[in-house]
Amino acid sequence: MAHRPYIVGNWKMNGSRTMLAEARAIDRAALRYPDVQIALAPPFPFVGLLREAVNAIGIGGQDCHTAAKGAHTGDVSAAMLADIGADFVILGHSERRRDHHESDSLIRAKADAALAAGLGIIVCVGETLHERDAGQAEAVVSAQVDGSLPLGDAALEAAQAYKLAVAYEPVWAIGTGRVAAVEDVVAMHAAVRERLTAAYGDAGAKVRILYGGSVNAENAAGLLAAQGVGGALVGGASLTADAFLPIVAAAGQGEG
Ligand code: PEP
């Protein structure tokens, strides 16, 4: 089941044309890490620009609509992302679940649309601090996996092709500087893996489970070496090459 670790930078609502230089620097350095799959997800206005600026790394969106086109002012479809050269899309990030009240069933519909457009997907799940303190972390995250991940033949094919990933991101660890304990990460990833096997059978082993939540140069090696961790979804530390590349390097070491 081993596959290249997947290190994905989520720029959230940050970015500018000036930041293309950071993407180019990450892209150049990527050649030194052929055993790591590297990608960046900038805001929509920069997806096409980044696509044209880089060669070695993947580029993705941070959301898509369920429909391919139509009367949905302000939204962007998966087909449009694919048309401008995106490789994948992040879906169900906790900031979208919170800010836009996205439900598991909506995220699944977006995932179906993304797969239909030929995109890879990264579906985000994670518990709040309240849920963790109440001892509900595994139940909450398992229910999110059961409810948000796509099902059916297209999903199985995507899993087989390593185009399906899950990001376990405890909400309380995102952008806070608080990182989940390695043993909790291992336990949560095992719980996610169990649900993936239930959904996809053997192909569930091919779905990479990324950890996300305040990953940085200091903690990346420990997290990426943990059992069941197939990569990282990185927010704040993906905004500069200097902050992001040590995380990529840590993933490369884990492979060796
Ligand atoms: C994220 O945006 O998914 C994330 C994990 O952010 P940060 O690394 O800043 O916590």
Is 101 assigned a catalytic role?
A: no
How many angstroms does the Cα of residue 21 sit away from the middle of ligand 1?
21
Cα torsion through 11, 20, 46, 160, rounded to 10: -60
Check residue 255 and give its pLDDT: 43
pTM score: 0.97
Report yes or no: 248 and 231 within 8 Å, Cβ to Cβ. no
Among 186, 97, 112, residue whose Cα is nearest residue 149: 112
How many angstroms does the Cα of residue 93 sit away from the middle of ligand 1?
10
Which one is catalytic: 93, 95, 138, 189?
Answer: 93
Check residue 70 and give its pLDDT: 98
Check residue 230 and give its pLDDT: 97
What residue ranges define each of the domains in the chain, with the CATH number in brackets?
6-251 (3.20.20.70)
Check residue 227 and give its pLDDT: 96
List the chain residues with pLDDT less than 50.
1, 255-256
User: Atom 7 (ligand 1): residue with closest C-alpha?
Assistant: 235
Is 127 assigned a catalytic role?
A: no
